[in-house]
Structure 1
Amino acid sequence: MPPAVARQCHQIHADGTGSPSGGLILSASINHNPPSEGKLQLRDTLLEYQAILDNASLGIAFTRRRTFLHCNRRFSDMFGWESNELVGQAAGITYPSQAAYDDWIRIATPALRSGQRLDTEVLMARRDGSTFWCRMLGRLVDPGDSSKGAIFITEDITDRKHAQEALLRARDELELRVQERTAELAMANARLQAEIQERLQAEEQIRYLANHDALTGLPNRRLLEDRLEQALEMARRNGHQVAVQFIDLDCFKPVNDRLGHRIGDLLLQAVALRLRGLLRAVDTVSRVGGDEFVLVLPEIHVAKAAGDIAQKVLEALSQPYQIEGHELHITPSIGISLYPHDAENGERLLTAADNAMYLAKRRGRGNWQLFDTGARA
């Protein structure tokens, strides 16, 4: 019967997790032979261990009390030392400074003593003082007794770190360019919107000026004729009447000649303001000449209503005007025509109202008159 054989196994995991992935398993058989033969086997086993460690692609080091006990060739090459030169050296010599080592100790010690695997990226220093980035995995040999030392597995990640940093810089630069371009586009869009708004405002101003009197802001003759046609069309559908009142200011020319055009313009603006305050929303007040105004009054049910409005206009415009220290007095002469009694289209209604206004002039001014076919001017 063959003699009993005992097998001694040593397992080193690259990630320190106990997982078979990435681990180093060292196995040797120890026969219970005479001592001399056992020593030979132990020596061979240690040589095998050393060969495995020296050919590992990762740096491996054993430390105790923050001093190197052993390291493989890859670890010493990584830091620019010979393996035997690191043995007995303080672990801090592989860091850029004592302060950097102390900082790392403050991070590593709690993790190691808790039995956890240390996994960190740290800036290390070679023998010549140059630095490189290193990923370091570490675990205590015995989590219950830190005095037994620790094993560390290191990997030079400088190229990867630089690639990551370059990628981050490229991303930041791209984001900056995107932000700058976005800002440029936003500014360009804002300028474009401003230009569009200015153009729309200019077009609106042109349309407004085309339809309104520049001095008083009232509708001009063009807009008056359009409003009158609308009122007549509605009156035809609903069976209502439309009144047109033609207003001429009495004695306006002497005021204008005596006090100047500026005072005359201010007086016209004051008259326009009073007229606006007298009318309904559906009514139209228009300036058609120097001191001539026309009112279009739709939805008139009885002729008397037109006369009542004319009387209000007469009384309102006859009140004194205080303009730049001058008290001014004027009166209106008002002529009234009615649809459909006096005419059935806008042009003839305006002519009829104009004739009635001249009738008011002949009858002493400062009054209103209905159109009378027998009293044409």
Structure 2
Amino acid sequence: MYIDTIHDAIIGGEDELRQQLLEYQAILDNASLGIIFTRDRRFRHCNPRFSEMYGWPGNELIGQSTSIVYPSEQAFAALSSIAGPILGSGQRLDTELQMKRRDGSLFWCRMLGRAIDPSDHRKGTIFIVEDITERKNAEQALLRAHEELERRVQERTAELAMANARLHAEIQERKLAEQQIRYLAQHDALTGLPNRRLMEDRLEQAIEMARRHQGRVAVLFIDLDRFKPINDKHGHRVGDLLLQATAARLRKLLRAVDTVSRFGGDEFILVLPEMQSATAAVEAAQRVQGALAQPYFIEDHALSVTPSIGISLFPEHGQDASLLIGCADTAMYHAKKAGRANVQLFDPAMKT
């Protein structure tokens, strides 16, 4: 029975060893890199990828000198002189070199190698080879392009001096154009006031600042009463001049921290940070109302318009720009319904 147990253990060990060998062989067979085992500078084993790269059937390589995959005996000797000390010291060989296929064509490889036992070279060496021809070709193409560029630069130095002056002038012109584009993207073309996008950005900044310092921000939504009849009667030119005059009056009322924006048509929005109270916001709106209600003299026309103004406050009426603008707009419509030419502070009941 003891002999049977030993026999079973041996059989089991052989099965396990056979399974491990099958797994290792599967790894070699499916590796994307070429792998070879050499001893005494002769091939002892290679995987399918190595055979594919070099154009040699694996069974024909076995036993042959490893020099057959080098461009020349000199190249083989040069690598041997470098590889010997490295492998003998137990370090990993890592080099790039040209190698030769069976048909004589050359290609670039990256070769990694390590001795199985650095103290006994007779036990052989494992090499891993990667085809880096495409990378090398790209590097060489890049180098050639760089050299060509350097040549052209040297040939055209005098031309570039003049071109540089022209380019500097063009850059300055482009900067001015970009500044103008940015300005137009953020400002109303008719009045020069910040447009809706810029106003909303500044309102969000004011809200964030007020949130940090437990402050208030007031939003005043202004609509000019009976602007359309003036526009229809006197024409769009007079209507545009009236909007410009309104914008000029609003600018004069602002503090440095305030923002006035043309929201659209005959609607304007004022963003007033650092408001102490709802009463202060109403007082500010009343000053705006008084200033805008004064007569306008435009092209021999004496024109009068009055504003309807709605007010919303952060944080009482909303936590973001969109909500505050909506509340101020609602309050403005209530000012219209109340007979125009008046100020209304938003109340949640207005939405019911």
TM-score (norm 2): 0.54
Q: How many residues are aligned here?
A: 197
SS at 2:264 equivalent: coil
**Residues 243, 296 of structure 1: 8 Å contact kept:** yes
Matched letter for residue 337 of structure 1? S
1:240 maps to which residue? 215
Select the residue among 336, 340, 348 that pairs with 2:323. 348
Cα distance in 1 for partners of 2:244, 2:270 equals 16
Displacement after TM superposition at 1:210 (Å): 0.9
Q: Note the residue ranges of structure 2 that are not aligned, 5 or more in a row.
A: 1-155
Aligned residue for 1:201? 176
2:307 — aligned with what? 332
- Equivalent position to 1:192, from 133, 152, 167: 167
Q: Deviations over 1:132-159 (max 9, x none)?
A: xxxxxxxxxxxxxxxxxxxxxxxxxxxx
Question: One-letter code of the match for 1:284?
Answer: T
- Equivalent in 246, 250, 261 of residue 225 of structure 2: 250
Note closer, same or farther for the CA distance 1:300–1:185 as it changes in structure 2 (3 Å cut).
same
Aligned to 1:322: 297
Given the alignment, which residue of 303, 309, 319 partners 2:284? Answer: 309
CA distance in 2, matches of 1:185, 1:325: 59
Maintained 8 Å contact 1:231/1:298: yes
Give me the whole-angstrom Cα distance separating, in 1, the residues matched to 2:300 and 2:251: 24
- Give secondary structure in 2 for the equivalent of 1:237: helix
Q: Which residue of 2 aligns with 1:297?
A: 272
- How far apart are 1:182 and its partner, in Å? 11
**What is aligned with 2:15?**
none
Q: What letter corresponds to residue 321 of structure 1 in structure 2? A: Y
Task: Please name the residue that 1:265 is paired with.
Answer: 240
Cα pair distance change 1:183/1:262, threshold 3 Å: farther
Match of 2:253 in 1: 278
Considering only CA atoms, is the larger Rg found in Structure 1 or Structure 2? 1
Partner secondary structure for residue 288 of structure 1? strand
CA contact (8 A) 1:356 1:376 kept: no
Q: Distance in 2 between matches of 1:339 and 1:369?
A: 16
Higher RCO by CA contacts (8 Å cutoff, separation 6 or greater)? 2
The one-letter code matched in structure 2 to 1:306 is A
Q: Deviations over 1:182-229 (max 9, x none)?
A: 998775444222210111111111111111100001111111110011
Moved >2 Å (runs of 4+): 181-191
Q: Which residue of 2 aligns with 1:363?
A: 338
What value does the CA root-mean-square deviation take over the aligned residues?
1.8
Matched residue type, 1:368:
V
Taking the aligned partners of 1:374 and 1:184, their CA distance within structure 2 comes to 74
Q: How does 1:27-46 map to 2 (within 5 A)?
A: none
State the alpha-carbon separation in 1 of the partners of residues 185 and 164 from structure 2.
31
* Residue aligned with 2:224, SS: strand
Contact 1:359 1:376 in 2 (8 A): no
Between structures 1 and 2, the one with greater helix share:
2
Tell me: CA distance 1:225–1:185, structure 2 relative to 1, closer, same or farther (3 Å).
same
Which amino acid is 1:275 matched to? Answer: L
Flag the 1:186–1:267 CA change in 2: closer, same or farther, 3 A.
Answer: farther
Counterpart-to-counterpart distance in 1, 2:301 and 2:157? 61
Partner Cα distance (2:335, 2:278) in 1: 18
Q: Establish whether residue 225 from structure 1 lines up as the match of residue 200 from structure 2.
A: yes
1:375 Cα offset (Å): 2.2
Shift of 1:275: 0.2
227-236 vs 182-191, which moves further: 182-191
Amino acid at match of 2:283: D
Residue 344 of structure 1 aligns with an amino acid whose one-letter code is: Q
Question: For each residue in 1:101-156, what CA deviation from the matched residue of structure 2 results, as whole angstroms up to 9, or x when unmatched?
Answer: xxxxxxxxxxxxxxxxxxxxxxxxxxxxxxxxxxxxxxxxxxxxxxxxxxxxxxxx
2:274 match: secondary structure: strand
Partner SS for 2:191: coil
User: What residue number does 1:117 align with?
Assistant: none
Structure 2 residue identity aligned to 1:370: L
State how far apart, in whole Å, the 2-side matches of 1:354 and 1:371 are.
9
Residues in 2 aligned to 1:338 and 1:239: alpha-carbon distance in whole angstroms: 13
The whole-number CA distance in structure 2 between the counterparts of 1:275 and 1:253 is 20
The answer to whether the 8 A contact 1:248-1:293 is kept is yes
Note the 1:89-104 alignment, pairs <5 A: none
TM-score by length of 1: 0.50
Give the equivalent residue in structure 2 for 1:166. none
Q: C-alpha distance in 2, partners of 1:219/1:201?
A: 19
In structure 1, distance between residues paired with 2:293 and 2:285: 12
CA distance in 2, matches of 1:273, 1:187: 46
